[in-house]
Amino acid sequence: MKRLLFSALPIFLVGAPVLADDEADDDVYEMGEMIITGSKLPQTPGNVTQKISIITADEMGSLVLGNGNLAEMLSYIPGNFANVLSRNDANWGSSGGLAHTYKGYMLDGLPIDAFVDLQSLDPWAFQRVEDQRGPASVLYPNYLAMDFAGNQSPLAGTANFILKERVGSTRTSASAYYGSFNTIGGRAFRQQAFGDFHMFAGAHYEGSDYTDYGTEGSWLNMIDNPEYKKAKAYVRGTYFLNDNGLRASLYAHRTLHTGDAGRPNRGFDHAYTTLNAGVTNPFSDRMVVRAKVGYRDYVRRWEEDNFRRDDDGMVIPTSLSLRSEDGVDQRVIPADLSLSVVHREDDVLTVGADYQLASYETSSDPAESGNTTIGNDATATSYGVYAQEELHLNQFVLRAGGRYNGTAHSIDLLQGDKPGDDSNSWSKFLWSAGIRYNDVADDFSIYTNWGTTFKAPSLKSVGGTIPIDSKDSGHLPNPDIKSESGSGWDLGVSYSPLEGLRLGLRGFVIGIEDQIVQREVPVEPDDPSQSQDINAGNTMTNGVELEVIHRLNQRVEWFANYTLTKAKVTENPEDPGKVGAKINFVPESALSTGVYLTLPQGLHASISVQSYTGIYSDVNKDAQPFDGYMVVNARIDQRFQFGDKYDLHLYLEPYNFTDEIADNTFEMPWQFQDTGFSANGGLMVSF
């Protein structure tokens, strides 16, 4: 508590930030009856059975993202835990008591990758983020992500990043910032309407000398600063064809990420492309058809050397020479077609179909031979048909739906050879249902939801990135891995005892058969980092979430939430020694709290505190957890307004600061560690 008070005191003395946006007003934390798309047809939050949390564009401006990853934004919501390894690496963690591969991440309703897109997309493009907690496996499919931790299921919920669409006024924003590790960056954003055509475009650049983010003795073995450069560009156009809402849109995003991992021949060169196109056709105010298609292209290239040290611990110079350039190419094309019909007064029937095509290829280009070899080469397809009915009976909302889903793998190469079994397929019927009771007079509601899921192992799970007997860093194959199936249930209440105060309580239970987990393979201190996907057995997750959001007045708002989770293996006939083991990447206790202050003369400030118990990187009863940790972040924003058109913001964002300042580092999986205290500050102008 002493540490917390020490950290919070200077922020409380100065005062909640505002993100320049023409749709914003001074009432930046009042959510009200926000229109959401939890059921593909816009509705108010009380008309959806699942628990919905919304982050508006204004609120995004108050959230400090220490590693620039969108997963950090969601970590302020109950049940979401983000363990972002570095500014150059993906996010790990959990959602709803499971690895975050059990949450569906979407861009305007089309699935995106939990690992790549969350570190690639830029938040300035979003109007809001809708976080839905609870089973959602009927309207939304699994995502055929074959890299990192593999396929992703919406069993624990969904997070939908909603792009800006209609432009209220012409607006330009630009920012420049400088921070720790000689980090320099800038952003630009322009929105404008040309008659019925509304568009925005943006760009973001960041470069840094950065610093060593490996633990002591880590396989990363950095001997120099791991420099990097990131460049992002994006554009969206929406054409409104009539006054009834018929519209067509196209969004394109491109990220180029280059740098090195702290050694001369450990460079990387990644390129990520994300496209979304869609048509919305309201035939009437009671019938809407939506057609969407996307393209995700994830290209990663990195260098490998033969790093070694001599008996005295000194780096052997010849071991720094280039050994190979390795790579992964992954492409996913998702598509969705849905029809929503409002019948009776406000009942909603939704039917639709979706499809995905994914390709996955790993390669290595040895420095000596110069001949590229292909390791894994495979494709996967998935299709689904679904239907869901929502009935509104007085104070009750009843929801029920089903999905028939099929998935198929076709493998040309596995570890460079023709596989013995070159194809596999699965089909499954899934269902989901929910009930919500709303007492409007007392501002009280109670809800419950059920749902099932099914997930096939990814191509990376089967083929790995290195041979089974390799001593290199990478992902070991597991050709015997099995598919998994599971079900989830939640029960929650929401209550507002007085104006501006909202209380929430939610419990959840999830059971999975043959759960697929990615474990860190135990190694000696100086050995390379290796991972492998395995079937942990039958698992059970129980949890409870408590949250408070309180708007005291126009000046002060605060929030607090706490999540307690018990997740463990309950049965494993093939490996009884795993029974009782904790599920990895899931903290048992997670606390998040924050305060937003709006003071006169355009001064705003926020402070947030997040505290977690230690997580496990392996699923084993003998595994030892990492130490728990606490992160304190803040943002101070001074706004100057010049007339009705010009705004200037000066801001400062300290990240992970406590009374220990730079010593507040903490260990993460795969021998990474948080770099401790850092800060950046800059200015933003809008006109």
> Nearest Cα to 631, choosing from 63, 208, 79, 217?
63
pLDDT (0 to 100) of residue 20: 34
pLDDT digits (tens, 9 = 90+) for 617-666: 888 888 889 999 999 999 999 999 887 789 999 999 999 987 655 568 89
> So where are the chain's domains?
2-150+171-686
Q: How many angstroms separate the CA atoms of 685 and 345, rounded?
A: 47
Tokens read off for 499:
């104006």
Strand order in the sheet with 157-163: 51-56, 126-133, 157-163, 104-107, 110-111
Q: How confident is the model at residue 34 (pLDDT cuts 50, 70, 90)?
A: very low
Q: In this structure, are strands 474-476 and 530-535 parallel, antiparallel, or unpaired? A: parallel
Please give the model's pTM, rounded to 2 decimal places: 0.91
How confident is the model over 37-96, as pLDDT tens digits?
555 666 666 668 889 899 988 888 888 999 999 999 999 999 999 999 999 999 988 988
> Per residue in 324-348, pLDDT tens?
999 999 999 999 999 999 998 889 9
pLDDT at 42: 64
Phi, psi of 562 (to 5 degrees): -140, 135
DSSP string, 448-513: EEEEEEEEPPPHHHHH-SS-TT--SSEEE--TT---EEEEEEEEEEEEEEETTEEEEEEEEEEEEE
Q: CATH for 2-150+171-686, among 2.40.170.20, 2.40.40.20, 1.20.58.100, 3.40.50.10110?
A: 2.40.170.20
Write the CB contacts of 310 (distance below 8 Å, at least 6 apart in sequence): 316
Q: What is the pLDDT of residues 561-609, one digit of tens each?
A: 999 999 999 999 888 888 999 999 999 999 999 999 999 889 999 999 9
pLDDT at 298: 96
Dist CA 505 CA 548 (whole Å)? 9
Terminal alpha carbon distance of the chain? 43
The per-residue pLDDT for 18 is 30
